[in-house]
Amino acid sequence: MLLLAFAAALALPVHAAPATARLVLVLGDSLSAEYGLARGSGWVALMQARLAQRRPPVTVVNASISGETTAGGRTRLPALLARHRPGVVVIELGANDALRGLPLAETKANLDAMTAAAQAAGARVVLVGMMLPPNYGRRYGDAFKALYAEVAQAHKAALVPFLLAGVADAPDADELFQADRIHPLARAHPRMLANVWPVLEPLMH
């Protein structure tokens, strides 16, 4: 009888702990990990400071890693969801896939899987889109840009079309990037937050 009871218990579904509505998890790459910047000056830190002023305050967990790909994010996400139980997950990944010439179908599949996993855990998802420089070719660049909208539409997730809008395409763009011409300077990060905030803020209610 004891064995039967134990077997029955193992057969019961395991329910994840409920999502924490007042916690935002950011899963990104160097653009979100403050690469080359003083700590606290990146757009995620600026967002955290703004959300901390709300009543009740909202906590931000920045799980971004410089050099991260969508495959790496997909691998790390389940543990992060289980540990933090976020109410909102911001996914800012994909640029490093393109820099490495990875297949777009692979990038899209990873973004799709991460979005589905976060939603299954009870979180709302914000996909943060990117665009590629013209030298990647128009066809490849257009397809890369489109995959974010396609994933967002498929899952009814929120979408930031282009994190670097007003930065990479700004008249003063030359003055907004570090020497590598890839990573924005601290003065550009308020503009990046301005792109994310209108999409993220409604999800806090």
Q: Is residue 5 part of a domain?
A: no
Domain range holding 77?
A: 23-204
Is-catalytic flag, 30? Answer: yes
Q: Is residue 172 part of a domain?
A: yes
Angle, alpha carbons 122-123-129 (nearest 5°): 145
Q: Tokens standing for 131?
A: 């665009």
In the structure, what pLDDT confidence band is assigned to residue 192 with cuts at 50, 70 and 90? very high
Which CATH number belongs to the domain containing residue 199 in this structure?
A: 3.40.50.1110
Q: Is residue 193 part of a domain?
A: yes
Nearest CA to 90 out of 105, 80, 102 is that of 80
pLDDT at position 4: 34
pTM for the model: 0.90
- For the stretch 40-77, pLDDT in tens is 999 999 999 999 998 899 999 999 999 999 999 999 99
Distance CA 167, CA 50 (A): 21
Angle, alpha carbons 148-155-61 (nearest 5°): 75
Mean pLDDT on 183-189: 98
Mean pLDDT on 81-89: 97
Mean pLDDT on 172-193: 97
Helix axes 104-120, 138-155, angle to 10 degrees: 20
List 15, 172, 174, 180, catalytic entry: 180
Q: How does strand 158-160 pair with strand 20-28? A: unpaired
pLDDT at position 134: 85
pLDDT at position 133: 87
Q: Is residue 152 part of a domain?
A: yes
CB 115 within 8 A of CB 157: yes
Number of domains making up the chain: 1
Does residue 158 surpass a pLDDT of 70?
yes
* Higher pLDDT pick, 118 / 137: 118
In the structure, what pLDDT confidence band is assigned to residue 135 with cuts at 50, 70 and 90? confident
List 29, 30, 64, 84, catalytic entry: 30
Nearest CA to 200 out of 74, 32, 17 is that of 32
- Dihedral of CA 81/130/186/53: which sign? negative
Q: Is residue 50 part of a domain?
A: yes
Is-catalytic flag, 64? Answer: no
Distance CA 90, CA 23 (A): 11
Does residue 162 surpass a pLDDT of 60?
yes
Q: Is residue 173 part of a domain?
A: yes
Does residue 156 surpass a pLDDT of 50?
yes
Is-catalytic flag, 189? Answer: no
Q: Is residue 127 part of a domain?
A: yes
From the number of C-beta atoms within 10 Å of its C-beta (0-12, 13-18, 19+), residue 171 rates as exposed
Q: Is residue 6 part of a domain?
A: no
- For the stretch 87-113, pLDDT in tens is 999 999 999 999 999 999 999 999 999
Q: What is the DSSP letter of 205?
A: -
